[in-house]
Every structure is written in structure tokens, then in C-alpha cells.
């Protein structure tokens, strides 16, 4: 039986500005380089979070860019899109969430925008704050780091595997050098 795919929709710029994990990437002046580093980190994090459980879409606001067409591209299995010129990312996210709900797809929207949260939650879509997402990702990476930490191998000697009475007899034999 095939499991139902879930949809993850991420409000890109909102998460970059509101998520504690991404504030460290942005210089106070939000230069192109720092914002690009933050965007790349977000994309990588969404790839990790989505895994095989979610189809993921990150929506960035392109409303103020006259050249934005709303075209999409795939990066690591995640769909990246800028909203078309004149249309906000909020409207695109709300439409994607509504369409998914109408098709019966379980959907999670990541944003700290109260209006989007209220709109999608009212429509039966799950939501997660930008900071909640930041904490989930940080916890994932910490768990992965701890899993990779070298561990001291447990010594598995015979004396640890046999009962005490037998061990006492063996020690007596060893120490009694007649």
C-alpha cells in the first residue's frame, strides 16, 4: 500500500528573517552575499527536513521584481519559486495550501506571518513558526552530530559474561598455582 505524500510549504523570506537559525547568516545590512548564504542554508535545511516524507516548496516573494515570472526550479528535490511580479508570496502560499487541502494532501506551512497562519490553519492546514522550524532543524543536526561522535568500545570479556560462581572458581584455579 502506497503511503500518502505530504506537502511542506515554506515562506522563504519570512523564515530567513524570523527564524533564529538564519539570523546569524545575515549581516546587519542584509548584503547579497549574506542573504545568499542564508538562502542556501534554508534550502539545505528544507531538503533535510522534508526527507522522503514531504514534497517541499519554498516560496520567496518576487512581487516587487518586474522580471519575476513565478517559474520554479528544483534543488535537491525541493521546489524553489519566487512569486510572480505583482503577486505576493503570501497569496501563492495560501493558494498552494488551499489546493493541497482540496486534493486531500496533508500540508504543513512554515511561517511566522500571523495572517498566513490564520488563513491556512482556518482551512485545516498545519502550521509551524519560523523559530519552531529553526529549533527542529537544530535538534536534528545536534542528534546527527551526537550519533557521529566516536564512542568508547565496551570491553566484552569472559568475566563479564559468566555467572559469579563460575568466575570465582576460575579465579581460584588461576591463583592456586600448586
pLDDT tens string 135-152: 999 888 888 878 766 655
pTM: 0.76
Number of domains comprising the chain: 1
168 domain-assigned: no
Task: Please state, in angstroms and rounded to a whole number, the distance separating the CA atoms of residues 59 and 15.
Answer: 10
In 10 A of CB 100, how many CB atoms? 22
Domain that holds residue 79: 6-148
Beta-bridge mates of residue 54: 6
**For the chain, what is the HEC assignment?**
CCCCCEEEEEEHHHHHHHCHHHHCCCCCCCCHHHHHHHHHHHHHHHHHHHCCCEEEEEEECCCCCCCCCCCEEEECCEEEEECCCCCCHHHHHHHHHHHHHHCCCCEEEECCCHHHHHHHHHCCCEEECHHHHHHHHHHHHHHHHHHHCCCCCCCCCHHHHCCHHHHHHHHHHHHCCC
177 domain-assigned: no
166 domain-assigned: no
Give the closest residue to 74 by CA, choosing from 33, 97, 43.
43
Give the closest residue to 16 by CA, choosing from 50, 33, 40.
40
110 domain-assigned: yes
Task: Please state, in angstroms and rounded to a whole number, the distance separating the CA atoms of residues 15 and 111.
Answer: 6
170 domain-assigned: no
169 domain-assigned: no
Task: Please state, in angstroms and rounded to a whole number, the distance separating the CA atoms of residues 108 and 116.
Answer: 12
Residue 127's CATH number: 3.40.50
In 10 A of CB 134, how many CB atoms? 21
Question: Residue-wise pLDDT tens for the chain (178 aa)?
Answer: 445 579 999 999 999 988 888 887 765 555 677 778 888 999 999 999 998 889 999 999 887 888 888 889 999 899 999 999 888 899 999 999 999 988 989 999 999 988 887 877 777 788 899 999 999 998 888 888 787 666 555 556 666 678 888 888 888 887 776 5
Task: Please state, in angstroms and rounded to a whole number, the distance separating the CA atoms of residues 130 and 112.
Answer: 5
28 domain-assigned: yes
Question: Of how many residues is the chain composed?
Answer: 178
Amino acid at each position: 500500500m502506497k503511503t500518502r505524500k505530504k506537502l511542506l510549504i515554506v515562506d522563504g523570506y519570512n523564515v530567513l528573517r524570523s527564524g533564529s537559525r538564519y539570523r546569524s547568516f545575515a549581516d546587519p545590512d542584509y548584503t547579497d552575499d549574506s542573504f545568499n548564504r542564508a538562502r542556501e542554508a534554508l534550502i539545505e535545511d528544507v531538503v533535510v527536513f522534508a526527507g522522503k516524507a514531504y514534497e517541499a516548496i519554498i516560496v520567496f516573494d518576487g512581487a516587487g521584481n518586474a522580471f519575476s515570472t513565478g517559474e520554479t526550479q528544483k534543488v535537491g528535490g525541493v521546489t524553489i519559486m519566487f512569486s510572480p511580479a505583482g503577486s505576493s508570496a503570501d497569496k501563492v502560499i495560501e493558494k498552494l495550501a488551499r489546493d493541497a487541502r482540496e486534493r486531500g494532501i496533508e500540508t504543513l506551512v512554515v511561517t511566522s506571518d500571523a495572517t498566513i497562519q490564520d488563513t491556512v490553519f482556518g482551512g485545516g492546514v498545519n502550521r509551524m513558526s519560523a523559530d519552531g522550524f529553526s529549533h527542529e532543524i537544530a535538534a536534528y543536526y545536534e542528534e546527527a552530530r551526537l550519533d557521529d561522535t566516536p564512542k568508547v568500545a565496551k570491553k566484552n570479556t569472559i568475566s563479564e559474561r559468566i555467572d559469579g560462581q563460575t568466575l570465582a572458581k576460575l579465579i581460584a584455579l588461576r591463583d592456586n598455582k600448586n
